Amino acid sequence: MRTGKEYLDSIDKMKFSIYIDGGKLDNALEHPAVRAAANAVAATFDFAHDPEIQDKIITKSHFSGEPIPLFQHVPQSVDDLVAKVSITRYCNRRLGMCSFRCVQNSFAPILFITHKIDSEKGTKYHHNFTEWIKYLQKNDFLACPAITDPKGNRKIPAHQQPDPDMYLRVVEKRKDGIVLRGAKLHQTGAVFSHEKLVLPSTTHRKGDEAYAVACAVPGNAKGIIHISVRQSQDDRRREGVEIDLGNIKYGVHECVAVFDDVFVPWERVFLCGEVEYVDEVVGLFGASHRPTTGGCKSGWADVLTAAVQLMAEYNGLDKVAHVKDKIADMIAITET
């Protein structure tokens, strides 16, 4: 398994097309705001080598039997799901922010759906998705979910939008693969992830077949253009100061990922045109994602609660009844 440095070195070798602060960058990690976010991911790789948490973050792949981080594991039991929530809370408490390691939430739902489609349609999506997960595990790769579409007018379906690119779509089917055009928004981790997992963001109906697509692409695939979205702390990061950052070690980076006719081989396609299954894909992924979100936000809340307690102590108010009550409420809400 990679160390944090090995992860950063691997990303450093990838050439992402990214525009930030009005210009193009050849190396995303050169920008301090991007680097701060990537450093948070690097820390999660280092956690796998930390004796304090190592036994809770490492498990065995049910495919290969080899040790892998829990972030890449396909849950096999309720205990596995609880462990994922627990380790997510731990990571976010240590980082004080997002750990960018939630793509695993898609594994079980997509494995289920692809198996169902294959059994009913004679496709090979389940095999494709299984092999992709094995690929991630073998190489200890980080994957970024690419889900949210621009959407446009929410009252009308994708195929009736005045601009057909309001939802990511298949514009061409070839013998060797498909071609994607459109965009995905709110991409956290997109320019420091080895892979992107493309999934639909909403239910599609008959007529939207071109928009019913799920697949995996390399993070730096030809034709993907990343347009950075400004974060509140970006200026301070560039200035190299610690004031006003909130989190001086780690940061958040978000971008729009534009797919300008991106080619995807068939072996990396997990859904293409089977519009009748999209509702189930979206619903099951959402249900699978919620528990980890609970662990994520609880980790943040732990840090906030501790900060409030410390401020109360600094101000000599930690014994005041109504202050204690509010801190107790924060703890109770976090635990429930």
Question: CATH code at 274?
Answer: 2.40.110.10
pLDDT of residue 245: 84
Residue 53 and residue 90 in contact, taking contact as beta carbons nearer than 8 Å? yes
Q: How many domains are there within the chain?
A: 1
Q: What is the DSSP letter of 154?
A: T
pLDDT of residue 226: 97
Q: What is the DSSP letter of 167?
A: S
pLDDT of residue 247: 87
pLDDT of residue 236: 87
pTM, full prediction: 0.94
Low-confidence ranges of the chain (pLDDT < 50): none
CA 280 from chain centre, in angstroms, equals 20
pLDDT of residue 262: 99
Residue 317 and residue 323 in contact, taking contact as beta carbons nearer than 8 Å? yes
As a whole number of angstroms, the distance between CA 286 and CA 199 comes to 12
What domain range is 130 assigned to? 4-335
Task: Name the token pair of 102.
Answer: 């939630």
Residue in 298, 297, 328 with CA at minimum distance from that of residue 312: 328
> What is the C-alpha end-to-end distance of the chain, expressed in Å?
34
